[in-house]
Structure 1
């Protein structure tokens, strides 16, 4: 899955749940959730496909493991206990959902690393590093790219429409509260 797929699906899940469970909007910080949704790719793609491409040739390594998500969760617990800061849970939630969006549990050697050995499965590309980035760039201008990434394009459109709907929905609620005389507390 690509950038907008992870962002759209992860934010869509939490904003959708936020309509039915309003308290969730106070607990989850969408900025940290969005960063968390992309964090495994931000870490693994450059390391596994560019910097150490000849070693790994795989963009799903350490940050795509369960142990990485558990480590993020432990850090979030520490931050919460220490400073009552809940933003780490948003980051952890986004990162954990990323694993399921990539169907990583169906790859036990990656998901449960290092339980099945210390090595990661190698990709089967015959090009690595900067050559990989250049091939991706060139392929992005071919019609086959659009047909194979139609779901990504649909998620972008759906995400934009959902964002517009949510902004209008929350603005309407805020105006209703102001017009009814309720005090509206500004969030930071």
Structure 2
């Protein structure tokens, strides 16, 4: 899953949760939820696929671990107790949803890191660095790359729904 998939599906999950718990709309800052939804990839893709590509050759490292989400959650809870601020919890929630969307439980060596050792598994792709980013971006919009393609289209649709609702609220406040 790539940018639109993670962002849209995370916002969609928030929308569903806020239907059953309307108070979430006032508690959760969507900007932090959105950043959290992208955070594991924002950390891991540049580190594992570009900067340390020859050593790691893996775009799912530190940010895709349960430990990372747990630490973010603990920091979020601490900030909430200290200053009654839910931003850290929103960031941690977005990051955890990212792990669920990537189905990281199918990669237990990464997901439960460091329980099974300190090293991360190497990916089997031949391309790394900027070449990896360009190929993945190009492939994300090919229907043959179906799982990612479907997630991206669904994410774009959900983002469009959020954008329309946001515009409606802004216009109704203005007039």
TM-score band, normalised by shorter chain: 0.7 to 0.9
Deviation at 1:86? 1.3
- 8 Å contact 2:9–2:154 — kept in the other structure? no
Alpha-carbon distance in 1 for matches of 2:54, 2:90: 34
The aligned length equals 170
State yes or no: 1:79 paired with 2:71. Answer: no
Q: Partner of 1:105 in structure 2? A: 105
> Which residue number in structure 1 is paired with residue 18 of structure 2?
18
2:149 maps to what in 1? 150
Q: How far apart are residue 155 of structure 1 and its match?
A: 2.6
Deviations 1:72-109 (A, max 9, x none): 01111221222221110000000000000000012110
CA displacement 1:5-62 (0-9 Å, x = unmatched): 0011100111122122111112211110000000000000000000000111110000
TM-score (normalised: structure 1): 0.81
Query: By how many angstroms is 1:65 displaced?
Result: 0.3
Residues 160-185 of structure 1, C-alpha deviations (whole Å, 9 max, x = no match): 135425654x579x78xxxxxxxxxx
- TM-score norm. by structure 2 comes to 0.86
Looking at structure 1, the residues matched to 96 and 32 of structure 2 have their Cα atoms a distance apart, in angstroms, of 13
Q: Which blocks of at least 5 consecutive residues in structure 2 are unaligned?
A: none
The answer for the alignment partner of 2:122 in structure 1 is 122
Question: Which structure: larger Rg?
Answer: 1
- Gaps of at least 5 residues in structure 1 are 176-188
